[in-house]
Amino acid sequence: MTAGSLFGDAPARDPRFDVKELWREMVNLGPDDPELMTEFLHRQMNEEINGMEISARNLVDFPDAPWELRMQMARQCWDESRHIEMFRRCCESRGGYVGAYPVLNFQYRIMTALPSLIGRLAVQNRSFEAAGIDAIQNEINASRERGDDDLVELFDSQLADEVQHVRYANVWIKRLTETGGAKAILDLVRSVQQATEAFKVVAGDAMIAYPVADDIRREAGFTEEEIERAREIVSEMTAV
């Protein structure tokens, strides 16, 4: 599979945005840089835009999906739109502005290359956003230690929504597998494999893993076996 076939369309961005394709092309600041949090918030703002756009594309690309599932995806669009505003507000309060730093749209480009809804739910909600809830829990703890009350509020609100996004994907992946049989399972497996290869292209050697938030993942509908597997993956990624 060629690198080109791993990625789909890029989302539209106005001239304020400097769009990059690879992690190494970004402004990757050191841990003591005073702009580190501002850049992080700007980057996360754009990732939330990606999340909204992916859910919107799913609604457009799969009009025959069950109504209950379409309602969940529509709700996710609303949730992500609120997250965008929260990240923008916190970024601007620290001296940032829209377009201050480069952005990546890899999530959207990975998703638009996946032809099945079950594959997109497995990758975006059950993989990317599941890893995201681990990261958010870590950021809540770090922000509380620093006394950044506005970020604690932001991440706590975001976490509640992201858990729901992962949970509904877990529920619907099971249902789609039951109704779609072997084809649905094959679509899921192929999508995860393709997305994994695409993410490696974007991230290079900058893979980051956070401790698995066991209780949050249980709340999001993961089984104990799945949580243990997530721990194993994090252990493999962080092994020296």
- Domains in the chain (CATH in brackets) are 4-238 (1.20.1260.10)
Question: Block means of pLDDT (10 residues each) for the chain, length 240 residues?
Answer: 78 96 95 95 97 97 97 97 97 97 97 96 90 86 93 93 94 94 93 93 80 82 82 67
Q: Tokens standing for 108? A: 């959207």
Q: Tokens standing for 7? A: 């990625």
Q: What distance in Å separates the CA atoms of residue 56 and residue 194, rounded to the nearest whole number?
A: 21
49 to 33, 52, 107, 120, 240: CA distances (angstroms)? 25, 5, 10, 16, 34
Q: What distance in Å separates the CA atoms of residue 114 and residue 121, rounded to the nearest whole number?
A: 10
Q: What distance in Å separates the CA atoms of residue 115 and residue 111, rounded to the nearest whole number?
A: 8
Q: Are 130 and 209 in contact (CB under 8 A)?
A: no
Q: Are 121 and 180 in contact (CB under 8 A)?
A: no
One-letter amino acid at 46 equals: N
Q: Are 107 and 128 in contact (CB under 8 A)?
A: yes
pLDDT at position 4, please? 59
pLDDT at position 218, please? 87
pLDDT at position 174, please? 94
Q: Are 152 and 140 in contact (CB under 8 A)?
A: yes
Q: How far is CA 73 from the centre of its chain?
A: 14
pLDDT at position 183, please? 94
Q: Are 158 and 212 in contact (CB under 8 A)?
A: no
pLDDT at position 131, please? 82
pLDDT at position 236, please? 66
pLDDT at position 188, please? 93
pLDDT at position 238, please? 59
